[in-house]
Structure 1
Amino acid sequence: MTQYSFTIFTSADALPAEWDTIAQANIFLGRAYLAVLEKAAPANMQCHFIALYTNSKLCGIALCQYLNLSKVATFGQAEEEKFSLRRYIFKKFSSHILFIGNNMLTGQNAYVLNDSISESNALKLMHAALQSLIKSYRKKCVYINVTGVKDFDETEMPNFEEAGFKGFHKFTTQPNMIFHIWPEWKNMDDYLAALNTKYRTQYNRSRKKAEGITKRKLTLNCIIDYEQRLQELYLTVAGNASFNTFHLPANHFRVFKEELGDDFLLYGYFDGDKLVGFSTLIKNGDDFDTYFLGYDDAIQRDKMLYLNMLYDMAAYSVKKQYKLVIFGRSAMEIKSSVGAKAVTVYGVIKHTNPVINIFMSKLFAYFDPKVNWKERNPFK
């Protein structure tokens, strides 16, 4: 008779020796990346690494994150500076969140399985792991308000009801912006040739505006030297966001580079000798994931710095012949002007209070910031 079980870890060093054999399908579940979460996660986040077993043999791996939203300014500076009923209700009844997945990324980075376990059986184990963690937190007088699993596109969405996730509500937020590299693009000239006149003009204008700005790939030593400036620039962008669930610690990018080496790229943008912006990329098989960035607001407006960062990311991916650039959520319109397409992502969510859970779908829509944007199509 087949027996299934799970073990929960909090340290990357303690993971089973064969963990990375399964994780090779996704760098964001590999031991090196999980070490980043262990050593340099946001202050309000705790990470748990779940090993799934079939007859005592490792068959799957998953990431679970706990977030305490009472410790972060969630709704943006303007709303946080005044009394907000929405903010009050959210913090009062939804501060403690536990979910399978990665709140720092967009896309299915929740789990990877091998062929010895079905997705349904794996999800049943993950549901049991969530219940175990809820009890563990309760013993520490931390009462979980919301549990969930994220992010899946429509073709990936599992049958959560079948897997034992009773009473969970399906939800969606801002789409994942994905840039597909056309097979015929061998260099940036090929990309530019595919653009229509309007967006080729946009490209040329943005490049001209950025004259005087230089870009450099930063080594580990450079990242350490610029650590505080990188944090300042990151917080400038994070502070302008309408919704935040965490803030990265100052050492995050240094630890990222230490653990992932050449798979983590950080580019600094300089005005003379002054660092005025940065972008980050992560190699993940045939895909490139964009990560966090930062910039000086004044320079961004004058030099169209953000748009130039997007073009630089696209150019690198074309040059290196990657298949996809995962631009993630936010700034959907400008990302679509470069060529990214919106992919709706889904998850499931449940409030631990059964009465509140009845209204969870409406509450989620109330708390989720609405973004109106127009999709652009830059190609001929």
Structure 2
Amino acid sequence: MKTTYTFSIYSTTAELPERWDDLAIDNIFLSKRYLEVLEKSAPINMTCHFIGLFKDQTLEGIAISQFLDVNKLESFGDRDKCVKSTVRNFVFKNFCSHVLFIGNNMLTGQNALCISQEMDLKTAMLQLKAAAEDLKEIFKKRGSKVHITTFKDFDENEVAQIETDYQEDHYKFSIQPNMIFEIDDNWKTEQDYISALSKKYRDQYKRARKKIVAIDKRKMDLDDIIEHEDVIYDLYHHVAQNAPFNTFFIAKNHFRTFKEVLKDDFLFYGYFSEGKLIGFNTLIKNGEAMDTYFLGYDDSIQKEKMLYLNMLYDMIAYSINQGFKEVIFARTALEIKSSVGAKPVKMFGFIHHHNSAINKYMDKLFCYLEPETIWKERNPFKELT
């Protein structure tokens, strides 16, 4: 009997098949709980769909798509004021403003899909390619023509399995790496990590910690997050606004919703100076990995107190103490993350512009869509002898 592969597209978590979470067991970012967070507090310019992949009527794969209308943003990021950024913004607004992601544009790493042992990656991706075509029709009927379809993020091994199905009409790209901090099996406390640092980076650690002595760090519960919601959003928005490039801004109720739905799997830490919230960071427990999420800070205090660097040390310390295997630091601030021990992991994707004339030059256009970051990798650890 011939095997039949099909897919279904869902617009709400209430529609999801009963077995959905059985497949999301290894990735919280495809669980019903996390998808419910997006359903309740996705960025205003984002529309999410959820995709079930079936083998002979049995659910064997789950995936997420996100449609972004970047014309709804007040800006794409204000940090870089240059001719290239101006050209990029013009190109994006006029030719690339409607983007369909098969995957999660709010995260770094392969959070696009989970599949069972009964479905291979190549088959799953072919189904997702077909699902993307159906999604384009859905948005077209709503009056929003998709300009670009992107499949992200895949590592080298995954790309090798699927690239033959995309090489004809998609441009394979590699963007900024995912910065991953691997926790040594022998580290049981923060002091073990400090002892592994070379003198230069132990001195950096000590210098940073001295700067933050007067800062009060607090683990914030739901009531705390609600109480400080306006300040939290202002701190987040300041950091996001000054990034080199943005395709979305989170909703004001995003962190509150995260805490309501994920409870103890979502951690929110506030940094206070004389009773005033000056910064925060967030963490998400994802199996044996700790995923760092959005943060914010008062830039006038950040440099003086080395607040961002101290946040990185705090995230590492917590993850070591709680027995996690790695910290996913994502793809911003590459050099400073490298200086605390995170290593770059190359990620790949496939992109297609639905205007065939433009698609021919996607390799040249892409440099405007994804600004290149020049950075130097650091190694803060002692050399092994």
> Do the two structures share a fold, i.e. TM-score over 0.5?
yes
Shift of 1:85: 2.9
Distance 2:261 2:294 in 1: 17
Which residue of structure 2 lines up, in the alignment, with residue 174 of structure 1?
176
Which residue of structure 2 lines up, in the alignment, with residue 266 of structure 1?
268
Shift of 1:46: 0.5
Partner deviation per Cα, 1:199-247 (whole Å, 9 max, x = no partner): 0000000000111101111101111111111100001110110000100
Distance 1:115 1:278 in 2: 40
Partner deviation per Cα, 1:312-354 (whole Å, 9 max, x = no partner): 0000011011111000011111101100011111100000011
Counterparts of 1:44-123 in structure 2 under 5 Å?
44-72=45-73, 73-76=75-78, 79=81, 84-123=86-125
Distance 1:376 1:80 in 2: 28
Which residue of structure 1 lines up, in the alignment, with residue 215 of structure 2?
213
Distance 1:116 1:215 in 2: 47
Counterparts of 1:145-294 in structure 2 under 5 Å?
145-163=147-165, 166-294=168-296
Match of 1:377, SS state, is coil
Structure 1 contact 279–291 (Cα < 8 Å) conserved: yes
Which residue of structure 1 lines up, in the alignment, with residue 314 of structure 2?
312
Instruction: Name which of structure 1's ranges 324-333 and 359-368 shifts more when overlaid on structure 2.
Output: 359-368
- Residue 69 of structure 1 aligns to which amino acid in structure 2? V
Structure 2 contact 121–162 (Cα < 8 Å) conserved: no
Structure 1 contact 60–122 (Cα < 8 Å) conserved: yes
CA RMSD in angstroms, aligned pairs only = 1.6
Say whether residues 1:38 and 2:39 are aligned partners: yes
Structure 2 contact 96–147 (Cα < 8 Å) conserved: yes
Distance 2:161 2:186 in 1: 37
Which residue of structure 2 lines up, in the alignment, with residue 330 of structure 1?
332
Match of 2:357, SS state, is helix
Instruction: Name which of structure 1's ranges 135-144 and 100-109 shifts more when overlaid on structure 2.
Output: 135-144
Distance change >3 Å, CA 25–CA 126, structure 1 → 2: same
- Residue 16 of structure 2 aligns to which amino acid in structure 1? L
Distance 2:261 2:85 in 1: 42
Which residue of structure 1 lines up, in the alignment, with residue 380 of structure 2?
378
Aligned length: 380
Structure 2 contact 77–242 (Cα < 8 Å) conserved: no
Structure 1 contact 62–111 (Cα < 8 Å) conserved: yes
Distance 1:174 1:121 in 2: 27
Structure 2 contact 231–277 (Cα < 8 Å) conserved: yes
Distance 1:84 1:235 in 2: 21
Distance 2:29 2:364 in 1: 32
Partner deviation per Cα, 1:76-135 (whole Å, 9 max, x = no partner): 255499992331122100000002110000000000000122221111111111000101
Say whether residues 1:22 and 2:31 are aligned partners: no
Partner deviation per Cα, 1:13-52 (whole Å, 9 max, x = no partner): 2211110000111000000000011110000000000011
Distance 1:308 1:13 in 2: 41
Unaligned regions of 5+ residues in structure 2, if any? none
Distance 2:69 2:81 in 1: 19
Which residue of structure 2 lines up, in the alignment, with residue 351 of structure 1?
353
Distance 2:202 2:84 in 1: 43
Distance 2:217 2:266 in 1: 16
Which residue of structure 2 lines up, in the alignment, with residue 360 of structure 1?
362
Match of 2:294, SS state, is coil
Distance 2:332 2:222 in 1: 28
TM-score (norm 1): 0.97
Shift of 1:280: 0.3
Distance 1:296 1:49 in 2: 36
Aligned residues with identical type, % of pairs: 52
Structure 2 contact 46–69 (Cα < 8 Å) conserved: yes
Distance 1:194 1:155 in 2: 31
Shift of 1:186: 0.9
Distance change >3 Å, CA 81–CA 294, structure 1 → 2: farther
Distance change >3 Å, CA 161–CA 208, structure 1 → 2: closer
- Residue 287 of structure 1 aligns to which amino acid in structure 2? A
TM-score (norm 2): 0.96
- Residue 56 of structure 1 aligns to which amino acid in structure 2? Q
